[in-house]
Structure 1
Amino acid sequence: MSTDTDDTDSDASGDSSGGHCSTPDSDGEVAEDIAIVAFERKMDTAEEIVDGIGDRYDSIEILEYHGDVFAEHWGEYDCFVGLMASGIAMRKTAPLLDDKWDDPAIVVVDEELTWAIPITGGHHGANQVADDLASMGAVPAMTTASEAADEQGVEKQAKALDAHVVNGDSTVATNLAVLDGELGPVERLDGPKAVLVGDDVTVLKRNGDESDGGVVLGTGSVSGAKSKQFLAAWEEALDEVGKDWEDVEFVATGTRKEDEDGLLEAAAEKDLGVIALGKGDLEEYEGPTPSRSKELIGWPGIAEASAIAAGREHDLLLEKISHDDAVTVAVGR
């Protein structure tokens, strides 16, 4: 018996909003310039970190620790990785902190690479770096509320949308709404228009020029689908609608698929952000193609619903197609 591939994996457990993607710095981008601050006796470990994750950043440098090293280089890097006890990093950087949107992020990691602990700037690079250190065996100890609840804060949504937060003070209210499952998808508004917003509305602005004809790839899969299967499915869908990779704004999926390694690897290969939408958001934009997941687990089909919900015009360009009985994809705009 044949079933829709985004319906066959019945591992959902309730409704949530959120997603997965790299963490932005204060400009809505990932931390790009990193400094590892280490004592002389820990230089071998510092070099190991450079070899392990250095290719993920524009630059990664090693600074030998002395009492004023943070003060001397404050503002030169997006993130400091302190290869030291957390107390040392806290005492030396606390007097330098001024504004979370401008201050560099700080992560501490022990010599054995057991723990990676973001101290400041979790949503502005520290969580991202801790996640990268996890690839070397460190356990990322994140305490920011959205990460603790496994939700996608508005800063992460900004990164996936290739945007940045304009009014940073608003994120306290909107991230609380994320935690309560009340924020919903990012509303997209094209101008010219004048917009009046309150203090509890977070405004995101695209980093580059608005692309004409941009599309969203809505995607679902069976568990364990490979990155090459996602890429092949997305390529086929783009061919169907006469679009190229540069026309893709981002990838959208459901929260029950946000941790699929193959999906995340494929998106990273094409330098695409990933937005994951909760069950309630997808139900509001359910697609036209019947889906067995509605019958089996109460979720609408992920591919079409996420493509429609995340698209600028909430319009479906391509109904879902299946590849390898493993990945489904729909195209929205």
Structure 2
Amino acid sequence: MSTDTNDSEDGSGHCKTPDSDGEVAEEIAIVAFGRKMDTAEEIVEGIGDSYESIDVLEYHTDVFEEYWGEYDCFVGLMASGIAMRKTAGLLEDKWDDPAIVVIDEELTWAIPITGGHHGANQVAKDLAKLGAIPAMTTASEAAGKQGVEARAKAMDLHVVNGDSTVATNLAVLDDELGPVARLDGPKAVLVGDDVTVLKRNKDDGVVIGTGSVSGAKKETFLEAWETALEGTEYDREDVEFVATATRKEDEDGLLEAADELGLGVVAFDRETLLAHEGPTPSKSKELIGWPGVSEASAIAGGREQELVLEKLSYEDEVTVAIGR
């Protein structure tokens, strides 16, 4: 994902409340018949570490109604028809309703049936760790593209105006959305119904700014980022996203490393990076007209646009700076 800016706009996936950020599910309930409790516990063991809490509820006729609103996502260990009939009358608003996924007893298929962009797709993907095939039917995922809710989760942001995502996700499908733009205030902004507004989840999160030589491996990025964070008071949970330059946004190692950590990658253009140049001199500016990527992207991406850690070079392959 690239980000373009001008003097007042510069370019830029996790909070718990399902009615604000779209993509997140943190509190899960597995609903299972008594004879399937062993399978339910297998699911807990397999994906439990990925969630704040995961409970097992024994199925009875009113179980969904009884616990409606207490969980971000229900995983029905049952036929999809049962889950659909028992929850259809409870559904009111996709931004407030819990997500629902069904999975068969053999753990073959994980099927989001409601709330795909609001936690169900996320849970279905996690159930793939147990061998299940995520059967996702939301248009952006079916087309292999990243919808705006998924972008928000990856960048640790949340969607402010949920109704806008119908238009913006259609633009994603048509390759017309363009980059996510950052607007610095204080400002008053008038937007249309087809503009999705994203807001940071953290008040004190940090951004990993990173550059590299071509072909750097995933492991090198991961080790470099870990080493850099160890030089600060922050850790992985404080990272909002990884920032880099548009000329580095297709580096496989970088993308694979960010994906392994569940982080989004925001790519800044040359003009933005020049406007946020860091203190460490860089030969690349003399050679190709780009400032040092790690510091400039960390500054550009940070809420306060300041460095926590200046450029660190790792194995002469990856450079890292931390911004906030």
TM range (shorter): 0.7 to 0.9
Could you tell me whether the CA contact under 8 Å between 1:146 and 1:152 is conserved in 2? yes
1:227-246 aligned within 5 A = 229-234=220-225, 244-245=233-234
Q: CA deviation at 1:260?
A: 4.9
Could you tell me whether the CA contact under 8 Å between 2:217 and 2:254 is conserved in 1? no
- Asked if 1:225 is matched to 2:218, the reply is yes
- Return the letter of the residue paired with 1:311: G
Choose from 56, 61, 68 the match for 1:74. Answer: 68
1:80-95 aligned within 5 A = 80-95=74-89
- How many positions carry a matched residue from both structures? 295
- Asked if 1:159 is matched to 2:153, the reply is yes
1:274 corresponds in structure 2 to 264
- Asked if 1:103 is matched to 2:93, the reply is no
Between the aligned partners of 2:39 and 2:312, the Cα distance in structure 1 is 47
Q: After superposition, what is the alpha-carbon deviation per residue over 1:281-331, rounded to whole angstroms, capped at 9, x for unaligned?
A: 75876888769xx9xxxxx99966993796259x89799876346645466
2:252 corresponds in structure 1 to 257
Between the aligned partners of 1:262 and 1:185, the Cα distance in structure 2 is 21
Compared CA separation, residues 87 and 327, structure 1 to 2 (3 A): farther
SS at match of 1:245: coil
Unaligned runs of 5+ in 2: 4-12, 275-281
Between the aligned partners of 1:30 and 1:163, the Cα distance in structure 2 is 10
- The root-mean-square deviation of aligned C-alpha atoms, in Å, is 3.9
Q: CA deviation at 1:179?
A: 2.4
Between the aligned partners of 1:302 and 1:81, the Cα distance in structure 2 is 46
Q: Which shows bigger deviation, 201-210 or 29-38?
A: 201-210
1:49 corresponds in structure 2 to 43
Between the aligned partners of 2:271 and 2:172, the Cα distance in structure 1 is 17
- Return the letter of the residue paired with 1:26: D
Between the aligned partners of 2:15 and 2:106, the Cα distance in structure 1 is 25
1:115-264 aligned within 5 A = 115-209=109-203, 214-219=206-211, 222=215, 225-226=218-219, 229-234=220-225, 244-245=233-234, 248-252=239-243, 254=249, 257=252, 260-264=255-259
Compared CA separation, residues 40 and 199, structure 1 to 2 (3 A): same
Q: CA deviation at 1:136?
A: 1.1
Unaligned runs of 5+ in 1: 1-15, 295-299
1:12 corresponds in structure 2 to none
- Return the letter of the residue paired with 1:87: G
Could you tell me whether the CA contact under 8 Å between 2:20 and 2:158 is conserved in 1? yes
Between the aligned partners of 2:137 and 2:196, the Cα distance in structure 1 is 22
Q: After superposition, what is the alpha-carbon deviation per residue over 1:82-131, rounded to whole angstroms, capped at 9, x for unaligned?
A: 11111111121111111000010000111111111111111111111111
2:107 corresponds in structure 1 to 113
Compared CA separation, residues 98 and 198, structure 1 to 2 (3 A): same
Q: Which shows bigger deviation, 66-75 or 177-186?
A: 177-186
Could you tell me whether the CA contact under 8 Å between 1:33 and 1:78 is conserved in 2? yes
Could you tell me whether the CA contact under 8 Å between 2:299 and 2:306 is conserved in 1? no
Between the aligned partners of 2:122 and 2:51, the Cα distance in structure 1 is 11
- Return the letter of the residue paired with 2:127: L
Could you tell me whether the CA contact under 8 Å between 1:225 and 1:327 is conserved in 2? no
Q: After superposition, what is the alpha-carbon deviation per residue over 1:23-62, rounded to whole angstroms, capped at 9, x for unaligned?
A: 9833226211111011112111101001111121111111
